[in-house]
Structure 1
Amino acid sequence: MFSKAFSNPNRAYWSIQGAGIIWILGSYFLLRWYEVPISEALLDAAIFGGFFQISITVLDRIFSFYLPKKGSIWILLILPILLSSLSVFTHYWILSWVFDQNETYLELLQFTWPLRFALYWPSLILVTLLAIVVAKLEQQNLIRERENMMQELSKEAELSQLRQQLQPHFLFNSLNSINALVVSKPEKVREMVLQLSDFLRGTIRKDSQQWLTVEEELNYLQLYLDIEKVRFGHRLQVNFEIHEEAKKLKIPQLLLQPLLENAIKYGLYGTTEDVRIWLKAHRNNNYLELELVNPFDPTHSSEKGTGFGLSSVDRRLFLLFGRKDLLQFGPEKESFHVSLKIPQLK
């Protein structure tokens, strides 16, 4: 009800105004019940209600910016007592001066000031407690909002770091491929360097875009495959089986590239035979479902890697959706399957 100085000052203003009006009306009808004439009752109630309004405004402003500690609980009693005393005696002095010739009213004023104080002080105690409760709730909300903001910033920072790690990781692997071609196929080195430049230029230009359509992501995958095919030629075959409705669905940028890189590394490196890799995509209700399949020989010791591909994708999915069930992978007979589900955000 009170203490909205930070979040909604207009609401605080009208709450205080409403409380003042209610106090004025209550005072007026009580005085009329004592058969005080209308003019005296109106002035009395207006001044008394005005002091009450000033008092709760003071309390609201104090506890909007200051919350007493456990050792300062005494302030909950002292402030209302001081404000009540000041208001009641100032009200008594003003009306005694205004109606100094009205003996009947002065007798009533003399008789009722202890009653006024008895009503005024508990009311301010209640206002103080309400102001502190609301202020504490607002403080807790601010803390929660700050924590949520920090968590969101931390998540965004980690996502950004993972996205930025993709290019150096891919670049190192590409440089290793170029190094291998320098001796075996020196005429292909220039072609691979140019294609690598095109790929990096395109991904850097799209770096600020976190989500792409499947069709756009496939274009980047094709640039990556063009680079790998310079080294492996006809031995590397990647089949795309993409349903038409899946092409317009959204996917985090460069999410598939480390998975495809992983499939090539463990499916093709260390063998001289042709290797076929499948990438399938379709829509299932509100999910984009993808499957990547590459040959797998459990008896063959694959080239040692950092494990960055699968772990980075798994971590990105958790940061984006807070779920650990969106990425499944493992060997099935003579192939390695990676299944991926991407919720489509509305």
Structure 2
Amino acid sequence: MFFNAFSNPKLGKWIIPGTGVIWFLGCFLLLRRYDVEIEHALIDAFIFSLVFLGGIFVLDRVFSLFAPKGKNLWLLFAVPLILSWIGVMAHRYVLVWGFDEEEYLDFLTKSFYLRWTILAMAEQLISVLALVVSRLEVQEEVRKREAQMLQLSKEAELAQLRQQLQPHFLFNSLNSINALVVSQPKKAREMVLQLSEFLRGTIRKDAQKWISLEEELNYLKMYLDIERVRFGHRLEVDFKVAEEYYQIKLPQLLIQPLVENAIKHGLYGVTGEVKIEISGRKEGSHFILEVLNPFDPESSAVEGTGFGLSSVERRLFLLFGRTDLLECEAEDHIFKVRLKIPQFL
């Protein structure tokens, strides 16, 4: 309905009656100002208020079926003008029929055009105001729908990244298992069991729910157990995260791609034992996590899709709308990835 633009869940039902009461009091005081007798002023103001509310009701019916737009906006002024004319005529007819005092009837005739002007202006103002509020509400609804669509789009992309991460890791693990099946079948079976345990713990998790750092590190250690089957004593991981940070919340599987990237570029490009360091600390409203791995700048680049770091960077942007939460730098044969996770508590 057109005039439902004024509605409010708590106060809406009082707006029109309240407007009628204010209109009645205004008319009564104005009539008394012109020395109209109290009895006449009360009846006159009451009937004029009914005319006013009746005009609002008719406007509501008309504009709820047809909201003027563009070239039809002139109806916002024409319809109230016609309705107010009809209303003032009806008001005058009722009072002429009910009263026979010559002085009051003369006042009624002389004030006819003034009454019409006041009523027409009031109804036109209400019509315009209702249209403006109605359109603002429509715009707000459109904005909310766009925000919901954007949120759904973000959630869909996050889910897609989450789904891509598992096949990406699974593909790498199956390649490793395939390489071990002939040469080291015992290690291949061990890796299959560990992979099954890891996937059982991660696939069932709600992708939208954040987990504690302790839980994330437990999944990470399961992943590293799988990788150690391939690399044996060559892979060493040093965790430097104090237990006081274990209850910090973060998106699931946000660290694992960073460690996977460190293993790929550390162990494939370096001979001998490799030590990867994972450290964490709190800085202001951020939890800082760093992953360091050695690398040989002269070795040939490791082939890959580059999915790991790019997926983390994209997830961070979708979650926080920022592009400065993941930093990478290489210095003195050490490659460092720095992850900043905003903390809102």
Same fold (TM over 0.5): yes
Distance 2:65 2:219 in 1: 55
Decide whether the 8 Å contact of 2:289 with 2:339 is kept in 1: yes
Decide whether the 8 Å contact of 1:289 with 1:341 is kept in 2: yes
Distance 1:30 1:337 in 2: 81
Distance 1:5 1:61 in 2: 13
Matches within 5 A, 1:8-27: 8=8, 10-27=10-27
Decide whether the 8 Å contact of 2:278 with 2:291 is kept in 1: yes
* Deviates most, 12-21 or 221-230: 12-21
Distance 2:276 2:319 in 1: 27
The one-letter amino acid paired with 1:318 is F
Q: 1:307 offset after TM fit, Å?
A: 0.5
Distance 2:226 2:187 in 1: 10
Decide whether the 8 Å contact of 2:159 with 2:207 is kept in 1: no
SS of the counterpart of 2:302? coil
Deviation string for 1:129-172 (max 9, x for gaps)? 21122122212211211111111111111111111111111110
Q: Indicate the residue corresponding to 1:257 in structure 2.
A: 256
Q: Indicate the residue corresponding to 2:87 in structure 1.
A: 87
Matches within 5 A, 1:1-346: 3-5=3-5, 8=8, 10-59=10-59, 67-99=67-99, 101-346=100-345
Give the 3 Å change call, closer, same or farther, for CA 58–237 of structure 1 in structure 2. farther
Q: 1:6 offset after TM fit, Å?
A: 8.3
Give the 3 Å change call, closer, same or farther, for CA 36–7 of structure 1 in structure 2. closer
Q: 1:315 offset after TM fit, Å?
A: 0.5
Deviation string for 1:180-208 (max 9, x for gaps)? 11122111111111111111110012134
Give the 3 Å change call, closer, same or farther, for CA 231–66 of structure 1 in structure 2. farther
The one-letter amino acid paired with 1:74 is W
Decide whether the 8 Å contact of 1:178 with 1:192 is kept in 2: yes
The one-letter amino acid paired with 1:34 is Y
* Deviates most, 187-196 or 306-315: 187-196
Q: 1:210 offset after TM fit, Å?
A: 2.5
Deviation string for 1:250-288 (max 9, x for gaps)? 111100011111111111125441111000011112110
The one-letter amino acid paired with 1:29 is L
Distance 1:62 1:26 in 2: 27
Q: 1:244 offset after TM fit, Å?
A: 2.5
Aligned alpha-carbon RMSD (Å): 2.0
Q: 1:214 offset after TM fit, Å?
A: 0.7
Q: 1:104 offset after TM fit, Å?
A: 3.2
Decide whether the 8 Å contact of 1:293 with 1:335 is kept in 2: yes
Decide whether the 8 Å contact of 1:245 with 1:282 is kept in 2: no
Give the 3 Å change call, closer, same or farther, for CA 9–109 of structure 1 in structure 2. farther
Deviation string for 1:32-52 (max 9, x for gaps)? 122222122111101111221
SS of the counterpart of 1:73? helix
Distance 1:279 1:204 in 2: 24
Structure 1 outlier segments of 4+, above 3 Å: 2-7, 9-13, 57-67, 101-104
Decide whether the 8 Å contact of 1:5 with 1:61 is kept in 2: no
Q: 1:103 offset after TM fit, Å?
A: 3.3
SS of the counterpart of 1:198? helix
Q: 1:58 offset after TM fit, Å?
A: 4.1
Distance 2:65 2:249 in 1: 46
Distance 2:20 2:6 in 1: 21
Deviation string for 1:208-242 (max 9, x for gaps)? 45311111100000110111111111111111000
Distance 1:307 1:137 in 2: 46
Give the 3 Å change call, closer, same or farther, for CA 77–208 of structure 1 in structure 2. same
The one-letter amino acid paired with 2:92 is Y
Decide whether the 8 Å contact of 2:288 with 2:340 is kept in 1: yes
Give the 3 Å change call, closer, same or farther, for CA 13–57 of structure 1 in structure 2. farther
TM-score (norm 1): 0.93
The one-letter amino acid paired with 1:89 is M
User: How many equivalent residue pairs?
Assistant: 344
* Deviates most, 55-64 or 205-214: 55-64
Distance 2:148 2:113 in 1: 52
SS of the counterpart of 1:74? helix
Distance 2:303 2:34 in 1: 96
Q: 1:306 offset after TM fit, Å?
A: 0.6
Distance 2:246 2:252 in 1: 14
Give the 3 Å change call, closer, same or farther, for CA 220–64 of structure 1 in structure 2. farther
TM-score (norm 2): 0.94
The one-letter amino acid paired with 1:127 is I
Decide whether the 8 Å contact of 1:64 with 1:135 is kept in 2: no
Structure 1 residues without counterparts, runs of 5 or longer: none
Distance 1:121 1:6 in 2: 20
Structure 2 residues without counterparts, runs of 5 or longer: none
Decide whether the 8 Å contact of 1:268 with 1:275 is kept in 2: yes
